[in-house]
Structure 1
């Protein structure tokens, strides 16, 4: 289960790096507007907010990726702590999105299921 937890957490980090790219650099493109369901004027008006939010996603991904590096290097306690913190924050953010905007359930699930599965599998593997 430990390997599954590490892989799922790594995939969650990859998703959050993609979200970072979309929010911070591609926000005004038709693809990003389609993904996030924003019109051109709304995207222009929220550009700075999205840029900042994208970096939050990047920092969560970095925490998980650093955790994977430490875990792989033999510092399992440090690695697991970083993975649980980064992926746990991803899950918490997805819950905030789900509870505050139920119509964005699909986005919340895309953001939160992989890190939740990663945390669960890693926790079971470390027992």
Structure 2
């Protein structure tokens, strides 16, 4: 089960690094605006917030990757860090969909890999 947990956690981390790039560096680009459903004027106004939010996503990815790296040598610490990262990603997806039901697709995209990682990380305990 550990390999399945690692795969889903790694995919979650990679997705959140990608989200970091979109939010922090490509926020005002047409393709990114389309992805997030924002207009050009909204993107310009929200760019500082998106930049900051992007780094939250990066840090969650980093926490998860460090956890995965430690699974072999420090299993308890690695599992705790991987759960902290993926659990926070999952929590953010749940907040997104409970705040605005129209964001269900985005929440599913953001939360599926972390949810599967959390389940398999807990099973391997």
Give 1:38 deviation, angstroms: 0.7
Contact 1:24 1:52 in 2 (8 A): yes
- 1-side partners of 2:32 and 2:26: how far apart? 6
Q: Extract structure 1 runs of 4+ deviating beyond 6 A.
A: none
Q: So what's the TM-score if we normalise by structure 2?
A: 0.97
Matching residue of 2:104? 105
Give 1:122 deviation, angstroms: 1.8
Structure 1 stretches lacking a partner, 5+ long: none
Aligned length: 125
Give 1:125 deviation, angstroms: 2.2
Q: So what's the TM-score if we normalise by structure 1?
A: 0.96
Two-structure CA RMSD over aligned residues (Å): 0.7
Matching residue of 1:4? 4
SS of aligned partner of 1:15: helix
Matching residue of 1:52? 52
Question: 1:4-40: CA deviations, max 9, x gaps?
Answer: 0011000000000000000000001111111101110
- 1-side partners of 2:109 and 2:81: how far apart? 21
Q: Please state if 1:38 is matched with 2:38.
A: yes
